[in-house]
Amino acid sequence: MGGWAIAVHGGAGVDPNLPQERQEQAKQLLTRCLNLGISALRSSLPAIDVVELVVRELETDPLFNSGRGSALTEKGTVEMEASIMDGPRRRCGAVSGLTTVKNPVSLARLVMDKSPHSYLAFSGAEEFARQQGVELVENEYFITEDNVGMLKLAKEANKIVFDYRIPALGLETCSAGAGMVESALQMNGLPISIYAPETVGCVVVDSQGRCAAATSTGGLMNKMSGRIGDSPLIGAGTYACDLCAVSCTGEGEAIIRGTLARDVAAVMEYKGLQLQDAVDYVIKKRLDEGKAGMIAVSSNGEVAYGFNTTGMFRGCATEDGFMEVGIWE
Amino acid sequence: MGWAIALHGGAGDIPLSLPPERRAPREAALRHCLQLGVAALKAKQPPLDVVELVVRELENSPCFNAGKGSVLTTQGTVEMEACIMDGNTKNCGAVSGLSTVVNAISLARLVMEKTPHIYLAFEGAEAFAREQGVETVDASHFITPENIERLKQAKEANRVQIDYTQPIQKDLQNETHIASGDSQIGTVGCVAVDDQGNLASATSTGGLVNKMVGRIGDTPVIGAGIYANRFCAVSATGKGESIIRATVARDVAALMEYKGLSLKEAAAYVIEECVPKGDAGLVAVSATGEVTMQFNTTGMFRACATEDGFSEIGIWPSV
C-alpha cells in the first residue's frame, strides 16, 4: 500500500477484428505515455502535473480521439473538450467546443488555475486561450484522413458512430438507436467501427497520496455541432477527490446519466468499498443499457480499471514495479 | 405517499433589509408558480411536464436570474443555460450559451427528446432551436435595467458576483441603484414527485454577474446543479463552481442510496458539510412525497407544497 500509481486509457469499445498492427500501435502509444508518466512520478512531479503531461502526449498523437485525430462533427470540423481535476481540494477545470487549441487539457488546466470559473466553452474558451497565449493551430491540423473517411461513411449511413459499438453481422448497429444495418459499414475492407476513434484519459496518485484525473476527446463521430459529452463534465467523465481519481470513456450519454466518475468515489466514501470493488460496482450497476469503461487510482496507491465493452485500450503501473498494457479482458 | 413540489428562485446573500417593493413581486411570483405546479400535479400531469411548466413561468418572470431577467456576462450579453432530468429513466437534456431562446428549459427538454445527445451549447444549440421552431426573440428582450446596473457595480468592484453578493453601499437614496444589498435574484429550479413516486427536476439560469463569455456553471452539469433518479429529485443554486466541485445534487441522492439517509438528512449533510458557507442552497423531493429546502446562504427564494396540505413560501431561514 502507498506509493505512486498511474493508469492511462485510449478509449473503451474495440472491435475484435482490429488489425494486429493497429493493436500494436495502440499498445506502443500507451506504453510510451505510461513511461512518460512514470518518469515524471519518479522525479516527484505532483499528480496534477503528471496527468496533464500524459494527456498532452495522447492529444498530440493522432491515433486516439483527442486533439489531433479527434472525431469530426457533422460539419466535418473538430470540436474538442477536456477536463482535469485535482483531488486534494477538488479543484477542477473544463473546456468544450475548442477548434484551434492544440492541447485542450492544458487549457482546462488554465481554466482551473487562472480563471475564476470551472468551465469555459466555445468562443469564450477560444478567447481565453488567446489571452493565455497557449499554442493555437488551424482546425485542419486536427483532422486526419482516416476520420474524414469515417465521417463520410457515417453520413452515408446517416448515423452517429459511437466509439465502441460493433455491428455484429447486422444484429447490432453503430447508431444511436436508429435501427438495423443490413451490412456493416466498410472502409478499406474492414468494418467502420474498428476505426472509430477513442477518448483518452489519465489518472495518477503520487507518492504523497494526491490523486488527479484528466480526460480529453473530440467526441462522437458525426455529432451535432455544439454537442457536449461526458468528458468535460465533472462527476461524469472525470472526478478526483481525497480518496481516488477516475477517468471514463464510452457512451457519453450513459456516462453522464450514471454520473460514473463521481459514483466510484461515492461508493468508496459512503459504502466503504475498496477501489476495484467500487469500479466493478459502478460498471455493473450504474450503466443500465450503456457501454463504458474507466480507469481509477486510490490514494493508497492502488490502480484499477473496468469496462463492459469489448475491450478498452489501457495501461497501468504502480511503484512496486507492476506494469500492464492491454486491450482485451 | 403523495405528490410534492418545491421550487426556488435562487439562494444567496439576500439581505434581511430587503425593501418591500423588491420583496413583494418575488413572493408573488413564487406563489403563482407554486399554484401552477400544484394545479398541474392535481390534474395528474407527469412530473416532467410539471417541472418544465413551472420553470418556464420562472424564466418568464423578470424577478429571477433566468430567461428574462438573466444576469449579464462581462460583455453585457445574456448567455442562458438549463437542464431537465427524469428520475425514472435518468434521461436528461441540457443547454448552454443561449442568447435568443425565450425558454431555455423547453429547449433542454427537446434536446432530451429529439436528439441522440444530452447537451447542446452555443451556436449549435441556437441552430437546433431554430430547427425546432421554438420561440426566439432578439437578445435585448432578456436584458433588464437592474441587471445592467448590477454588471456596472460588479465591474466597478472588479469582481465576478455570485447571484446574491451584497453590492457596495453607495447611494442609498437612489431607487434604481442596487444598494442595501439588492442582489436578490438567482437561478431558478423546480422538483416534483407525483403520487406514484415519479420524480423530475429542472433548473435554469443566466449564470453569474460579470461572468466570462463562455462560462458554464453548475446548472447544466448533471449531478451538480440538477439530478433525479428513483430516490429523489434535486435542484441546486448558488456559487456554481462550488456546486460542481461538490457534485451537490448527485450527492444528496447518493447519500440516500448508499448510506440510507433520509431526504432531509442527506440534504442537510451536503449543504452543511460539502460546500463552503454562503455558497449553496437546494430544493428536493423524495419518491415517498417528502420535501426539503435547505441553504447555507443568508436566504433562498423558495416555495413548496405537499399533497397533505402543507405549503410554505419563504426567503430567509424559517426558524
Q: What is the pLDDT of residues A131-165, one digit of tens each?
A: 999 999 999 999 999 889 888 888 887 666 554 44
Catalytic residue among A73, A173, A199, A309: A199
Grid cell for residue B284: 428536493
Nearest CA in chain A to B120: A227
- All structural domains of chain B, each given as residue ranges with its CATH number in brackets, are 4-314 (3.60.20.30)
pLDDT of residue A150: 86
Question: Of A217, A250, A73, A91, whose CA–CA distance to B120 is shortest?
Answer: A73
Q: How far apart are CA A257 and CA A287, in angstroms?
A: 8
**pLDDT at residue B168 greater than cutoff 80:** no
Flag whether residue A228 sits within 8 Å of chain B, measured between CB atoms: yes
Please list the residues that pair with B136 across neighbouring strands.
B101
Is A97 part of the contact surface with chain B (CB cutoff 8 Å)? yes
Closest CA of chain B from A280, distance in Å: 15
Q: How confident is the model at residue B288 (pLDDT cuts 50, 70, 90)?
A: very high
Poorest-pLDDT segment among A142-156, A248-262, B121-135, B202-216: A142-156
- pLDDT reported for residue A173: 36
pLDDT at A180 over 90: no
> What single letter denotes the amino acid at residue B228?
A
Q: What local confidence, expressed as pLDDT, does residue A160 receive?
A: 60
User: Which of A111-115, B121-125, B167-171 has the weakest average pLDDT?
Assistant: B167-171
Yes or no, beta carbons of A236 and B116 under 8 Å apart: no
- Contact check, Cβ <8 Å, A226/B90: no
Q: In the predicted model, what is the mean pLDDT of chain B? A: 91
CA–CA gap between residue B190 and residue B9 (Å, rounded): 9
More confident residue, A157 or B212: B212
Average pLDDT over residues A83-96: 97
pLDDT at B1: 80
Q: What pLDDT shows up at residue A159?
A: 61
CATH superfamily label, A5-140+195-321? (Glycosyl)asparaginase (3.60.20.30)
Q: Does residue A171 surpass a pLDDT of 50?
A: no
- The rounded distance, in Å, linking the Cα atoms of A9 and A316 is 9
What strands, in cross-sheet order, belong to the sheet with A119-121?
A: A119-121, A91-98, A80-86, A211-217, A200-205, A5-12, A312-318, A323-326
- Grid coordinates standing for B33? 408558480
pLDDT tens across B80-114, in order?
999 999 999 999 999 999 999 999 999 999 999 99
* Residue B10 banded pLDDT, cuts 50, 70, 90: very high
How, if at all, do strands A186-187 and A190-191 pair? antiparallel
Closest CA to A293 of A16, A14, A12: A12
Nearest CA to B199 out of B86, B118, B121 is that of B86
Interface of B with A (CB under 8 A): 90-92, 94, 96-97, 115-125, 127-128, 160, 211-217, 221-224, 227, 240-241, 244-247, 250-251, 254-255, 258-259
**Rg of chain B, C-alpha, whole Å:** 18
Convert the pLDDT of each residue in B14-45 to its tens digit: 989 989 998 999 999 999 999 999 999 999 99
Minimal Cα–Cα distance from A303 to chain B, Å? Answer: 23
Higher pLDDT among residues B318 and A36, named by residue = A36
DSSP helix/strand/coil, B103: coil
pLDDT digits (tens, 9 = 90+) for A25-76: 999 999 999 999 999 999 999 999 999 999 999 999 988 889 998 999 999 9
Cite the DSSP H helix spans in B7-121: 20-42, 47-60, 104-114
Average pLDDT for A187-212: 75
By Cβ distance, the residue of B90, B244, B259 closest to A234 is B244
Q: Is residue B274 predicted with pLDDT exceeding 70?
A: yes
- Interval A303-319: pLDDT, tens: 999 999 989 999 999 99
- Measure Cα distances from A313 to A164, A211, B299 in Å: 11, 21, 49
Q: What is the mean pLDDT of residues A193-219?
A: 87
Q: Which of B284, B280, B277 is nearest to B255 (CA)?
A: B284
Where does the pLDDT of residue A197 fall: very low under 50, low under 70, confident under 90, or very high at 90 and above?
A: low
User: Cα–Cα distance between A110 and B56 in angstroms, integer?
Assistant: 35
Report DSSP state, residue B274: I
The DSSP line for B121-188 is EHHHHHHHHHHHT--B--GGGG--HHHHHHHHHHHHTTSPBPTT-------TT-SSS-TTT------E
Tell me: pLDDT of A288 over 50.
yes
Greater confidence (A289 vs B106) lies with: B106
